[in-house]
Chains A and B, each alone.
Chain A
């Protein structure tokens, strides 16, 4: 148990950036928009969070600016996919290319700089509980925010009127339209909120987790988040479990390397990617047997108000 505690604690921390991105994508996909640009959005979030923190000296300002950048760039995706009816897969790839390129281009000047990011803030009382305390309540504030967000989203999606509308817009946009609600506006809103959360996940990496900026520092976490949405069958709680699982694999692999092993580093680094594929296969096989629910019915399909289906 004593050995497990630091690993579990590290799993939470390194899973948190993936969790924010996954939660963002759940909201976007629930509204019927597929955003494969998570990797690019996370990188832009990581860069803008870092640079704004460096310029203002205030990490919270950095995080806020990352959210704004994420919302702005995902608005491009919303414009292309919702207003112009463009192909959502290709548009997401374009967001990733654009985000990867722009963050590397603008971030060149920031490589090697350091910032004072956000530190650890143990929760009073809860932090003292044996085992659970060090694992869950001895982190930075953004980890606690993500716990609250998971609970909030579970409640929002399943138990509120707005959540019902959100689900309907992804399942049957025509019904939402008939009910007099604006499908376009809803999809824009959720795509942008999702993009903002994703960028916040990226900023977590640069402002809180590593407190530095490196080109391509997300290393595929955005894509893993896309897979985790499927793994979590669009449920925030399951998504959190998946994110911590991946965080744990990442943390474990670092520990194995540090402990000195004969397994070459590139092979260890493959683990999260192989795990992603394995997880997807398991989920898909079970889905094929009818055990799990599927994606929102209208996911990836543009809605044309004036046309018949």
Chain B
């Protein structure tokens, strides 16, 4: 039987594939989403135009996109660090929640009227809370090979319920007219907003940590060890790299960065916590990390794109009455396409009759 084409293993992936695959994947996902929208009775062209205009059409839209890109970058870096060593930290959502809870706790119980002191304390508390939350799963994985995918995921549910407990219980604001929310933060505990928008100084924190991660992966011994453990755990053990310690440490740092995302989101944007405040950033971060191919600087760029998708989803909800779940569907489709696209990094399709 003569086939019109055959599949061949690539020896080297050409550099242009690094951007062609994600771009192609997003394009195909949007096309698939268009078909879905069509069957829902919505004009795909109108929907995508509304999304684009809402997210990137004017300065306000772009600023809102950046607002969402901040927690996405931080959480994307967090899960990317764990993924680099093939440790599946699916728990960024819970770590964000724990970071936010620690932030609220600091403001409630240790408030001082100084922005600098508050920032330092909130930063520390959030990173320790997130770090310990992830570190527990890391410890169980490193010590007894407990499946970290499931533990981190279960700890998401536990963290969110813990937040609910505080929001509905001891931390509920008595002056909120019965709404379940904590009291608003005093000014000294708020991160300043920039340029008259809702963008807050968390943006510098996100960029700084991304650069730090880049340096870590590229030029430090620890970064090298992480990559070796991820690529070839056996070789790592032969080389005397302590994988138990590294998994523990990487999970702690991963959780700490996610916790910081929770801190900036609460102190920079929302100023209080209420049910559902974490907004699924921890899950979207998984797509961010995967689309960015775990590259820290790429994470910033991809976060901006997915931030635009989220803002576009908000617009879609307001303008066309489509539920926010439509964005989740698009996210799932993008992830499918990126995964499928990886195939073309390793293989190429050759038309028969050529090169034989």
Contacts and interface: CB of A to CB of B under 8 A. Distances in A.
Interface stretch (A8-16, A62-70, A280-288): A280-288
Contacts of A85: 343, 346
Contacts of A103: 325
Interface in A74-128: 76, 79-80, 84-87, 89-91, 93-105, 108
A175 interface: no
B149 A36 contact: yes
Contacts of B330: 101
A90 B286 contact: yes
A162 interface: no
A264 B38 CA distance: 45
B149 A264 contact: no
B27 interface: no
Contacts of B183: none
Interface string A48-76: 00000000000000000000000000001
B17 interface: no
B182 to A, nearest CB: 15
A105 B325 contact: yes
What is the interface of chain B mostly: helix, strand, loop, or mixed?
Answer: helix
Contacts of A223: 150, 153-154
Interface string B99-138: 0000000000000000000000000000000000000000
A266 B151 contact: no
Contacts of B55: none
B150 A97 contact: no
Given A94-B335, A273-B158, A266 B140 contact: no
B5 interface: no
A147 to B, nearest CB: 27
Contacts, number: 141
Interface in A177-222: 215, 220
B153 to A, nearest CB: 5
B335 A97 contact: yes
Contacts of A36: 149
A306 B8 CA distance: 10
Contact of A94 (B90, B154, B336): B336
Contacts of B9: 306-307
B179 interface: no
Nearest to B161: A266
Contacts of A94: 332, 335-336, 339
Interface string B146-173: 1101110111011001101100110000
B328 interface: yes
Contacts of B145: 284, 287-288
A102 B329 CA distance: 6
Given A223-B153, A266-B168, A267-B161, A100 B328 contact: yes
A37 B183 CA distance: 38
Interface string B72-107: 000000000000000010100000000000000000
B327 interface: yes
B278 interface: no
B150 A276 contact: yes
A90 B326 contact: no
B151 A97 contact: no
Contact of B168 (A220, A227, A264, A306): A264
Contacts of A80: 336, 339-340
Contacts of A254: none
Contacts of A269: 161
10 contacts: A84-B342, A97-B283, A98-B329, A104-B328, A105-B40, A220-B154, A223-B150, A273-B157, A277-B140, A280-B146
Closest 6 CB pairs of A and B: A98-B332, A101-B328, A104-B325, A94-B335, A101-B329, A97-B332
Interface of A: 36, 40, 76, 79-80, 84-87, 89-91, 93-105, 108, 215, 220, 223, 226-227, 230, 264, 266-267, 269-270, 273-274, 276-277, 280-281, 284-285, 287-288, 306-307
